[in-house]
Amino acid sequence: MVNLDEIFKPIYFKDGQMFWIDTRYIPWEEIWRHTKDYNRVAQAIKDMEIRGAPAIGVAAAFGMALAAIYSNARNIDELLKDLEKAKEVLSKTRPTAVNLFWALDRVMQAALKASESGDVEKVREVVLNEAYAIQREDIEQNVRMGKIGAELIEDGDVILTHCNTGALATAGYGTALGVIRAAWEQGKRIEVIATETRPVAQGARLTVWELVREGIPAKLISDTMVGYLMSKKKISKVFLGADRILLSGHFANKIGTYQIAVLAHYHKVPFYTVAPTSTIDPKRTLDQLVIEERSPEEVRRCPYPYEKIYVTVPSIDVYNPAFDVTPPELVTGIVTEEGVAYPPYWVSLREIMRKKGYQ
Ligand code: MRU
């Protein structure tokens, strides 16, 4: 039984401040930052001190709470204006993960509803409580997904995962890594293969750090080794995360996911994505998906905090899309806190979203 209070939380709110672990320094140092300023929260998301779809949603929600608490507004209209401004700033940080926009909308809706009371203090309180609720629900959903997803894992499985989908990418426990964690806690004998995940190396730095902390048997590989290992039957299943899942079943996730999916399909390795329903975008279609382009320097140089070291000729042009899109025909199943969706996704995902109240 997982105790939610004792779970490691990479982001928390205390005494009017937001605290977070700066993931750029992991595994070398565990540096905690704090702020009362939502602009600083936006910067932390942009610079990937905080990253991972659910984690940036939680951070944005607490950013809204900071905007409400420290606003000088004397009436409801002024407070709502300040909240709209904060929402705008926070929404400009990263474009691909839907959880960011979902969390901002949810907090704003709660503020608008509370504003009908005409009580400024009440709105401040409601905004903070909504942020706490988003954080708590994310952990609860991850624990639930862990249980659901662990049923797909058998004794002896060797599981490939990509990027970081652990506690560090969420409010706590993790999505795909949560499933792996749950299987391990159930006593299943498993091994994890973590991809390095260049250019920012979330796999090598963050996933490996989490696996080693948990004592889960693991090996690190470079991104280029996946095909060879699959051809040698050294990988039995793939579990990874998602930043935005469309109702068609297409999903955006860390760059490299698509090539893993193609290889898994070719080698008949079951390929699962794990994400809470807050990652499902019921509104957008494939042509409206925005893939973030990040600084070319991430590719030219070593990951933070060794970013001064070049791995190439500094003047070379590069591509640096941070995400790619995997089509539904390559996906064996999508694990959510409401159950596992199987093809056809346009039916199963709609059904899941209907349970969550979407029409
Ligand atoms: O650029 P990042 O590190 O924010 O990308 C994160 C990912 O792509 C994760 O796989 C995804 O957010 C799922 S995390 C639970």
Q: What pLDDT is recorded for position 123?
A: 98
Q: Cβ(53) to ligand 1 under 6 A?
A: yes
Q: Cβ(97) to ligand 1 under 6 A?
A: yes
Q: Which residues of 285-305 are buried (b: 16+ CB within 10 A; e: fewer)?
A: eeeebeebebeeebbbbebbe
**Token output for 252:** 């955006």
Is 202 annotated for ligand binding? yes
CATH superfamily of 11-142: translation initiation factor eif-2b, domain 1 (1.20.120.420)
Residue pair 269/230 in contact (Cβ under 8 Å)? The answer is yes
Distance 88 CA to ligand 1 centre (A): 22
Residues above pLDDT 70, as percent of the chain: 99
Q: Cβ(197) to ligand 1 under 6 A?
A: no
Distance 53 CA to ligand 1 centre (A): 5
Q: In this structure, which residue's CA is closest to atom 6 in ligand 1?
A: 52
Q: In this structure, which residue's CA is closest to atom 15 in ligand 1?
A: 165
**Domains of the chain, residue spans:** 11-142, 155-356
Q: Select from 238, 57, 40, 35 the least CA-distant residue to 130.
A: 57
Is 254 annotated for ligand binding? yes
- For residues 232 and 276, give the distance between their C-alpha atoms in angstroms, rounded to a whole number: 33
- For residues 247 and 254, give the distance between their C-alpha atoms in angstroms, rounded to a whole number: 19
The answer, yes or no, to whether residue 2 has pLDDT greater than 80, is no
pLDDT digit string (tens) for 176-208?
Answer: 999 999 999 999 999 999 999 999 999 999 999
Q: What pLDDT is recorded for position 4?
A: 76
Mean pLDDT over residues 219-228, rounded?
A: 98
- The reported pTM is 0.97
**Token output for 47:** 């610079």
pLDDT digit string (tens) for 82-111?
Answer: 999 999 999 999 999 999 999 999 999 999
Q: Cβ(141) to ligand 1 under 6 A?
A: no
Is 53 annotated for ligand binding? yes
Q: What pLDDT is recorded for position 182?
A: 98
Work out which ligand 1 atom sits closest to the CA atom of 322: 1
Q: What pLDDT is recorded for position 357?
A: 87
Is 16 annotated for ligand binding? no
Mean pLDDT over residues 243-247, rounded?
A: 98
Distance 163 CA to ligand 1 centre (A): 6
Q: In this structure, which residue's CA is closest to atom 8 in ligand 1?
A: 254
pLDDT-derived band at 1 (thresholds 50, 70, 90) equals: low
Question: Catalytic positions, please?
Answer: 243
Q: Cβ(165) to ligand 1 under 6 A?
A: yes
Q: Cβ(253) to ligand 1 under 6 A?
A: yes
The total number of residues shown for the chain amounts to: 359
Distance 310 CA to ligand 1 centre (A): 24
**Token output for 151:** 């049923």
Residue pair 57/46 in contact (Cβ under 8 Å)? The answer is no
Judge if ipTM > 0.95. Answer: yes
Computed over every residue of the chain, the mean pLDDT equals 97
Q: Cβ(334) to ligand 1 under 6 A?
A: no
Residue pair 206/164 in contact (Cβ under 8 Å)? The answer is yes
Work out which ligand 1 atom sits closest to the CA atom of 241: 13
- For residues 44 and 31, give the distance between their C-alpha atoms in angstroms, rounded to a whole number: 13
The CATH architecture of the domain made up of 155-356 is 3-Layer(aba) Sandwich (3.40)
The answer, yes or no, to whether residue 15 has pLDDT greater than 90, is yes
Distance 177 CA to ligand 1 centre (A): 12
Residues above pLDDT 90, as percent of the chain: 97
pLDDT-derived band at 33 (thresholds 50, 70, 90) equals: very high
Distances (CA, A) of 324 to 202, 252, 260, 269, 318: 16, 5, 11, 20, 16
Q: What pLDDT is recorded for position 153?
A: 98
Mean pLDDT over residues 243-262, rounded?
A: 98
pLDDT digit string (tens) for 46-89?
Answer: 999 999 999 999 999 999 999 999 999 999 999 999 999 999 99
